[in-house]
Structures are given as C-alpha cells and as structure tokens.
Amino acid sequence: MASTASFLAAIMVCAVLSSNTCHGTRNLADTTPPASPTAAPVPGIPAVPTLPAVPTVPAVTVPQVTLPPMPAVPVPTVPAVTVPPMSTMPTVPQVTLPPLPVVPSVPKMTMPPMPSIVVPKLTMPPMPAIVVPKVTMPQIPAIPSINVPMPFLAPPPSA
C-alpha cells in the first residue's frame, strides 16, 4: 500500500512539473534562433552517420464482414400489483390552550450617579541595577557512541 501511495505521489509530481514547463518550453522554442544549416565540423568528433531509409509499409485492406442478426431477447413482463388503500391517520382533537399569564412590568428606575473616585498618583523609586555575574560552564563530557537502534528506523535486514 505504501509503495502504491509513493508511486501515485511520484506520478502527480511528474504531472505537475511537466504541465508547468510546457509553456516555457514552447516559448523558448519560439524565441530561440534556428541553428545554422551548415555547421562547421569539429576536429576530433566523427560525423553523424545518416540513418538508413525506412521501408514503406504496404496498405492493408480489411474485408467487409456482415454479422449475423442479434437474437431476440425476451423481455420479462412485470405483473400488475394492486396496493391496498392506505389507512387513514387519526385526527388530533382541537384543544383550547389557557391564556398566558401576564408578565408584570418592571418600573422605570433611575440610578444614582456614580461617585467620582480619585486615584492617588504614586511615584515609584527607581529600580536598582541588577548585575548578573558571568558564569563559565564546564565542558560537556563527550558521550561515547553506543550502537542503539533508533525507535523510528526500520530494523536491519535479517541475514
């Protein structure tokens, strides 16, 4: 399952990469000047051999074939079914509900004004400068390497 998912991911990456570069490739092909038809041979490099002529394939005619007629397939008939009438739903009797009780009205009330509170202004003494002494840490001892397998690594193949 994992290999199928990775294969699908690789296919999607190839599709995305190829779809984004085709416009650039077409633009590059349109804007690049064509190579000169008479290129000077480079000494030391052999000339490109010409390919042999490809033989032409003769045309093949396919004979007309008449197929036998399709045999008649019997269509099954569905018998008519009568459904019994649906039973009537019982009616819900009309009920008169009692009137809702009257909610007493809340009288309008005016609140007394809020007393003004005077917050005294305080001046704080300046903070004393704190001097943090420099501390030199000792060297961390080297940890010897121990061959302990990591929990997320695959186990080694068996011999």
Tokens of 72: 């008649």
| DSSP per position, 8-43 | HHHHHHHHHHHHHHHHHHHHHHHHSPPPPSSPPPPT
Residues 6+ apart with CB under 8 A from 155: 149
Q: What is the pLDDT of residues 4-63, one digit of tens each?
A: 777 878 877 777 676 655 666 677 777 777 766 666 677 777 777 888 888 888 888 888
At residue 149 the predicted structure's pLDDT band, cuts being 50, 70 and 90, is low
Return d(Cα 32, Cα 45) in angstroms, integer.
25
Return d(Cα 56, Cα 61) in angstroms, integer.
16
SS3 6: helix
In this prediction, residue 79 carries a pLDDT of: 87
Return d(Cα 47, Cα 40) in angstroms, integer.
11
In this prediction, residue 93 carries a pLDDT of: 87
In this prediction, residue 145 carries a pLDDT of: 72
The pTM assigned to this predicted structure is 0.15
**More confident site: 134 or 5:** 134
Return d(Cα 108, Cα 114) in angstroms, integer.
18
